[in-house]
């Protein structure tokens, strides 16, 4: 469907976002890690749906991450338990500080499926440190493409961060979905910057 120029009504109970897909076709020049980085990366070898959802919410509720919350346990387990999907926790002195999910299911490609840090870690260099680990892991495999998508519901700096990390935009789409706060997937006060209509 082609959209013409102009404004389009978003029905009550829905959210809308512009989604930008980005890719890199070779390892980029890596930006330096923050000095005295207090983080470690922990691979979750046998991810369990409820523990995964807890971290997913902590990292993504402010940006209306909902896709994994609407899946049944078995549907979620089929994804996160797949040997070609790798789940990592960013840890600091306070515990879990971020989520990294790499999807190698498409041969020769890696999707940066989910990437983010908890609100208390934003602005401390945790995202840069985590991205460097993501780049190291992804490009240590036999891939020719590493890709991600971001949207206008994400942190305002997310798209620029991905570009500075070496990704290049290749597609833009509009996504309309049910507001996860109205369905109960997320708390009504999540993402206060996006009004509930």
pLDDT in tens, 141-164: 999 999 999 999 999 999 999 999
Half-sphere exposure of 77 (CA within 13 A, CB side): 7
For range 106-124, the mean pLDDT: 96
Label residue 37 by pLDDT band (50, 70, 90).
confident
Domain spanning 15-27+39-180: which CATH class is it, in words?
alpha beta
Q: How far apart are CA 132 and CA 37, in angstroms?
A: 12
Q: Please tell me the distance from the alpha carbon of residue 182 to that of residue 196, in angstroms, as a whole number.
A: 8
CA distance 126 to 121: 6
pLDDT at site 197: 92
pTM: 0.95
- For 92-114, the pLDDT digits (tens) are 998 999 999 999 999 999 999 99
**Residue 36 in this model has a pLDDT that exceeds 90:** no
Contact yes or no for 111/103 (Cβ under 8 A) = yes
Among 130, 129, 177, 132, residue whose Cα is nearest residue 151: 177
What is the DSSP code string of the chain? -PPPSS--PPPTTEEEEEEEEEEESSPPPPPPPPTT---EEEEESS--HHHHHHHHHHHHGGGT--TTTTS-HHHHHHHHTSTTEEEEEEEETTEEEEEEEEE--STTEEEEEEEEE-GGGTTTTHHHHHHHHHHHHHHTSS-SEEEEEEETTS-TTHHHHHHHTT-EEEEEEEEEEE-HHHHTSS-TTS-TTS---
| Distance between CA atoms of residues 92 and 37, nearest Å | 9
């Amino acid at each position: 469907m082609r959209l013409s120029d102009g404004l389009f009504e978003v029905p009550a109970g829905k959210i809308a976002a512009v989604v930008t897909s980005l890719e890199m076709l070779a390892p980029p020049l890596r930006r330096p890690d923050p000095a005295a980085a207090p983080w470690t990366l922990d691979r979750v070898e046998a991810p369990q749906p409820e523990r995964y959802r807890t971290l997913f919410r902590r990292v993504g509720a402010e940006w209306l991450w909902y896709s994994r919350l609407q899946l049944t346990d078995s549907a979620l387990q089929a994804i996160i338990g797949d040997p070609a999907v790798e789940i990592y926790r960013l840890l600091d002195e306070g515990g879990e500080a971020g989520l990294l999910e790499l999807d190698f299911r498409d041969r020769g490609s890696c999707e940066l499926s989910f990437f983010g840090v908890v609100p208390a870690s934003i602005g401390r260099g945790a995202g840069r440190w985590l991205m460097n680990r993501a780049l190291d892991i992804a490009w240590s495999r036999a891939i020719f493409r590493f890709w991600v998508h971001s949207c206008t519901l994400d942190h305002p700096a997310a798209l620029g961060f991905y570009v500075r990390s070496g990704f290049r935009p290749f597609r833009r789409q509009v996504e309309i979905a049910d507001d996860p706060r109205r369905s109960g997937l997320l708390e009504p006060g999540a993402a206060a910057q996006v009004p509930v209509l």
